[in-house]
Amino acid sequence: MKARFSRRRYRHPSGKPVNLQAVLSVSLIVGFVFVGARDFFSLDNGKGGSDWRIGSSTIGGLDAHQPRSLMENRALALRLVNRDRQLNGLSPLVEDPLLAQAAQLHAQDMITRRYYAHVTPEGKTPTDRFSMLGGQGGVGENIMQQTGAPGILLSSRLIEQFQKAWMYSKGHRINLLTPFYTRFGYGIVADPLTGRVYAVQNFSS
């Protein structure tokens, strides 16, 4: 919405004229800085929907923007998934090394070959890729692509932002809240030159 300002000048009780436009402009700038700082230091997940819930963010402060190792990000991703599953009355998942490997390989393949899909250009599905690694059972998959700024860091805040986005998307939320899933794997890669990020969640029973 485009704001409109009047150039009418008001007078201070001292008798000096006051430029109302300048006062309003400063107020808006301060407001935007405050909101931007709030969003930088904390993440508001909201409450969810009419028939599902999402947990409150515990990620905050400057530390949330620091780069994390793949193992740290995987541990956080699992913790966030289980936070939201348990809040919706579901049992927690456990990490499956093969599911995690399949997720990481698919994320890397997508960023390397510049495609974004559950099925590879050769026609391999999430279940196919899992089976090729020795895994057993069908696989549900959530994927995420983000185009950011060069030099992007794989931080805990980014992991939580992705979880929030998946939870607010009905199709992805179905995977996250499927009752019979018991195992989980997570993969994430970034291209620091382009800022492009790919993340993958794999689920199986």
Q: Give the model's pLDDT for residue 15.
A: 52
* CATH for the stretch 62-204: 3.40.33.10
Q: How far apart are CA 84 and CA 54, in angstroms?
A: 5
Q: Give the model's pLDDT for residue 23.
A: 35
Q: Give the model's pLDDT for residue 46.
A: 74
Residues of the chain with CATH 3.40.33.10: 62-204
Q: Give the model's pLDDT for residue 25.
A: 36
CB neighbour list of residue 189: distance below 8 Å, 6 or more residues apart: 104, 107, 108, 111, 197, 198
CB neighbour list of residue 166: distance below 8 Å, 6 or more residues apart: 142, 144, 172, 173, 176, 201
Q: Give the model's pLDDT for residue 165.
A: 93
Q: How far apart are CA 172 and CA 151, in angstroms?
A: 28
Q: Give the model's pLDDT for residue 151.
A: 73
Q: Which two tokens stand for residue 113?
A: 């070959």
**pTM: predicted TM-score of the whole model, two decimal places:** 0.75
Q: Give the model's pLDDT for residue 60.
A: 58
Q: How far apart are CA 127 and CA 117, in angstroms?
A: 14
Q: Give the model's pLDDT for residue 67.
A: 62
Q: Give the model's pLDDT for residue 64.
A: 55
Block means of pLDDT (10 residues each) for the chain, 205 residues, are 31 45 36 38 67 73 63 94 96 98 98 95 97 96 89 81 92 95 97 92 97
Long-range CB pairs of 63-66 (<8 Å, 24+ gap) are 63/156, 64/155, 64/156, 64/157, 64/160, 65/40, 65/153, 65/155, 65/157, 66/153, 66/155, 66/156
Q: Give the model's pLDDT for residue 53.
A: 78
